[in-house]
């Protein structure tokens, strides 16, 4: 069986640092590549033009920390196509909200665009991709489930704490859960649009997932503090690090 490889390209928000980029995860399967979000700085981890071939970009929601590097992908695809090095357009899936036109209306691009529809399942190669809006972020934001046979992973993107039961159901029995954990309990967060590491671990425990990967960290906070908080609830937890390799397996 072909392995599904997941490589974190960006793990912090709302801005990149010297060592960490804004959100992005590259999924590799056979000759197919799926980029889950493309925040500031992530393209420095991509191998152009090779990674543009058979590339599918998923923009989970239209906050700039999750899509700002799409312009680099669009223009790179345009240049390499003109050099006869990229025969097939990069496919971009995104919510068709009013400001999506700011992304798609560019002439110097070699991409095609498709709307993300809530709870619809798409097929990329023989992977099944399902999107679900948890309705807990400040704008529509889609969780992404990728299934390869019996194995499945979920990338939550940005979700909040006001609809945890729904998130638990979408993540149930997931082999690998990549979950946002922007906040820590010690900060007494008043924001309902993001999760603490503790709440991310609650989802993992109640959904009976196999492994939890925390991401979407505040740049000034030490990552080990997120891991420590989550492990009080769910032991099989790690923090996402740029460039590491994760495997989807039971």
User: What digits encode the pLDDT tens for the residues 149-176?
Assistant: 889 999 999 999 999 999 999 999 999 9
CATH no., domain 4-248: 3.60.15.10
Burial track 134-152 (b if 16+ CB lie within 10 A, e otherwise): bebbeeebbbbbbbbeebb
Percent of the chain scoring above 70 in pLDDT? 99
Report how far apart, in Å, the C-alpha atoms of 85 and of each of 27, 55, 113 are. Answer: 22, 14, 21
Contact indicator for 153, 248 with CB cutoff of 8 Å:
yes
Q: What is the pLDDT of residue 250?
A: 55
Spatial CA neighbour of 119 closest among 165, 164, 166: 166
Assign 1 a pLDDT band (cuts: 50, 70, 90): low
Please give the structure tokens belonging to residue 95: 């919510």
Q: Map out the domains of the chain as residue ranges.
A: 4-248
Contacts 24+ apart (CB under 8 A), 130-134: 132/170, 134/159, 134/160, 134/163, 134/166, 134/167, 134/170
Give me the chain's average pLDDT, please. Answer: 95
pLDDT at 127 over 90: yes
Residue 183: partners with Cβ closer than 8 Å, 6 or more residues away? 189, 191, 194, 195, 196, 197, 218
What are the pLDDT digits (tens) for 190-211?
A: 788 999 999 999 999 999 999 9
Assign 124 a pLDDT band (cuts: 50, 70, 90): very high
What are the pLDDT digits (tens) for 53-97?
A: 999 999 999 999 999 999 999 999 999 999 999 999 999 999 999
Mean pLDDT along residues 39-60: 96
Torsion of CA 117, 118, 121, 123, to 10 degrees: 40
Q: What is the pLDDT of residue 241?
A: 97
Q: What is the pLDDT of residue 226?
A: 98
pLDDT at 217 over 70: yes
pLDDT at 189 over 80: no
CA atoms of 177 and 143, how far apart (whole Å): 11
Q: Cβ–Cβ contacts within 10 Å for residue 116, how many? A: 21
Mean pLDDT along residues 219-236: 97
3-state secondary structure of 191: coil
Torsion of CA 243, 128, 216, 72, to 10 degrees: 60
Please give the structure tokens belonging to residue 200: 């991310």
Q: What is the pLDDT of residue 2?
A: 80
- In 4-104, DSSP assigns E strands to 4-10, 24-29, 32-36, 55-58, 90-94
């Amino acid at each position: 069986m072909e392995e599904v490889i997941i490589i974190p390209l960006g793990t912090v928000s709302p801005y990149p640092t010297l060592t960490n980029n804004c959100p992005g995860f590259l999924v590799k399967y056979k000759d197919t590549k799926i980029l889950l979000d493309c925040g500031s700085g992530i393209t420095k981890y991509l191998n152009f033009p090779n990674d543009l071939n058979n590339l599918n970009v998923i923009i989970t929601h239209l906050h700039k920390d999750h899509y700002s590097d799409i312009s680099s992908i669009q223009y790179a695809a345009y240049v390499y196509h003109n050099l006869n090095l990229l025969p097939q357009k990069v496919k971009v899936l995104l919510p068709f909200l009013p400001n999506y036109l700011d992304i798609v209306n560019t002439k110097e691009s070699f991409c095609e665009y498709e709307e993300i529809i809530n709870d619809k399942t798409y097929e990329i190669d023989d992977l099944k991709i399902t999107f679900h809006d948890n309705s807990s972020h400040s704008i529509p934001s889609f969780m992404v489930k990728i299934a390869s046979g019996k194995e499945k992973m979920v990338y939550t993107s940005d979700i909040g704490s006001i609809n945890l039961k729904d998130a638990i159901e979408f993540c149930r029995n997931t082999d690998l859960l990549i979950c946002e954990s922007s906040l820590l309990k010690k900060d007494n967060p008043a924001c309902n649009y993001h999760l603490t590491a503790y709440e991310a671990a609650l989802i993992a425990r109640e959904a009976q997932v196999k492994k939890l990967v925390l991401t979407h960290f505040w740049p000034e906070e030490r990552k080990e503090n997120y891991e420590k908080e989550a492990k009080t609830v769910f032991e099989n937890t790690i923090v996402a690090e740029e460039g590491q390799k994760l495997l989807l397996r039971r």
